């Protein structure tokens, strides 16, 4: 598999892990470099697989389901071991009972967000890993935005 396809694969594995709630360290170490940084839409940063695991576990506990859809991958290989990427993302989040807006029907208690994910990848002896990933939200629709903005 060429480098660009391997990078696309690792990015898609990250979003699949979010949707499946697969936050064990073995999975995250296959996706992230040891010193990887995740920058959340609210600007807070997490560094390393353990911090990413802990934060994502806590953050996604509020949702009964999520779906992250990626498209428009642009991969710029700097050399054989470093690359930058840009990806479009649309993410659907269904709030669990007690979160979001409990005054509405549970099927309408959700939010959508669209944005651009960007970052860097590094190739090591065991393949490509995300070294930095940032999600810049461009638009939101639905309910419960304040809960997301306050996520650490």
> Reduced to 3 states, what is the DSSP secondary structure of residue 4?
helix
pLDDT at 149 over 90: no
Architecture of domain 3-149: Roll (3.10)
Residue 152 predicted with pLDDT over 60:
no
Q: What is the pLDDT of residues 126-148, one digit of tens each?
A: 999 999 999 999 999 999 866 65
Give me the chain's average pLDDT, please: 93
pTM of the model: 0.92
Domain layout of the chain by residue ranges: 3-149
pLDDT tens digits, one per residue of 70-87: 999 999 999 999 999 999
DSSP string covering 86-139, please? EEEEEEEEEEPTTSS-TTS-GGG-EEEEEEEEEEEEEEETTEEEEEEEEEEEEE
The per-residue pLDDT for 63 is 96
Output b/e per residue, 15-47; b: 16+ Cβ within 10 A: bebbbeeebeeebbbebbbeebbbbbbeeeebe
Q: Is 40 helix (H, G, I), strand (E, B) or coil?
A: coil
Residues 32, 122: Cα–Cα separation, whole Å: 9
Range of weakest confidence among 69-78, 99-108, 116-125: 99-108
Position 102 scores a pLDDT of 84
């Amino acid at each position: 598999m060429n480098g660009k396809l391997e990078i696309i694969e690792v990015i898609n594995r990250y979003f699949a892990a979010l949707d499946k709630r697969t936050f064990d360290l073995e999975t995250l170490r296959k996706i992230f470099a040891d010193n990887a940084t995740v920058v959340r839409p609210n600007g807070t940063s997490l560094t390393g697989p353990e911090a990413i695991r802990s934060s994502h576990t806590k953050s996604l506990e509020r949702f009964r389901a999520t779906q992250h859809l990626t498209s428009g991958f642009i991969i710029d290989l700097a050399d054989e071991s470093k690359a930058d990427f840009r990806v479009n993302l649309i993410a659907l989040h269904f709030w669990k009972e007690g979160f979001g807006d409990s005054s509405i029907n549970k099927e309408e208690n959700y939010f959508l967000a669209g944005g651009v994910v960007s970052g860097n990848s590094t190739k090591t002896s065991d393949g490509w890993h995300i070294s930095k990933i940032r999600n810049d939200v461009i638009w939101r629709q639905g309910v419960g935005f304040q809960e997301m903005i306050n996520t650490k």
